[in-house]
Chain A
């Protein structure tokens, strides 16, 4: 069965960077893309970017351009999301999700990133 397992919760200081991983299993990793979506406490979903796991092509939301980097390791069937220059507004639950066509059909369990000053 398809599974996306994310890395554990992180606590970071303002100005630091965080790297969240998303390990895929149960399907051919390189045949699908992965989206990253975040949700601040009590707030809505926010799309951050995506990567084609096959060819590595990426696209980011303009809001995060320059601060986010999404990469993948095909040998490990894992996608990574690196967010730099963290501020308190980056405290959120970060999700990875598999993309089929134009929609997300499987989601990771979420990784809580807490940014403290």
Chain B
């Protein structure tokens, strides 16, 4: 099972919106609505930001939203803030009843 493909880095200015894409196959991202997104700050454990493609856990800012089209999922951060600077990983359930993470994206707030 190959890792899902994410851009290595994405950047934006405060207040702007950015979108991180996560590309898989019909055996993972495209086959199930079980994509989640995690934020990880340096030296910290990952934090759940989005689950089941579009759902936001309580306590996560409304500025984070998720969607999916075909084999590609996306995470959008609107109104970018300095605290959003972190690494982001997508994760998907797979046809083998396993899970796979994306390659990770470093978000930089300019």
Question: Which A residues fall within an 8 A CB radius of B?
Answer: 35, 37, 44-47, 49-50, 59-63, 95, 97, 101-105, 107-110
- B96 proximity list for chain A (CB < 8 A): 59, 62
Which of A37, A60, A102, A108 makes the CB contact (< 8 A) with B36?
Answer: A102
Are A59 and B97 in contact (CB-based, < 8 A)? Answer: yes
A106 shortest CB reach to chain B, Å:
9
B100 shortest CB reach to chain A, Å:
6
Residues 71-106 (chain B) with a chain A CB within 8 angstroms = 87, 89, 91, 93, 96-104
Question: Which B residues fall within an 8 A CB radius of A?
Answer: 1, 3, 34, 36, 38, 40, 45-48, 51-52, 57, 87, 89, 91, 93, 96-104
- A107 proximity list for chain B (CB < 8 A): 45-47
Are A45 and B1 in contact (CB-based, < 8 A)? Answer: no
- A95 proximity list for chain B (CB < 8 A): 45-46
Q: Would A47 and B45 be within 8 Å (CB), given that A62-B1, A102-B34, A104-B36 are in contact? A: no
Are B99 and A44 in contact (CB-based, < 8 A)? Answer: no
* Majority SS at the chain A contact face: strand
Q: Would A109 and B45 be within 8 Å (CB), given that A62-B1, A102-B51 are in contact? A: yes
A2 to B100, CA, bound (A): 25
Which of A49, A59, A61, A105 makes the CB contact (< 8 A) with B48?
Answer: A105
A64 shortest CB reach to chain B, Å:
10
Q: Would A110 and B48 be within 8 Å (CB), given that A47-B101, A103-B36 are in contact? A: no
Select from chain B the residue with minimum beta-carbon distance to A99: B99
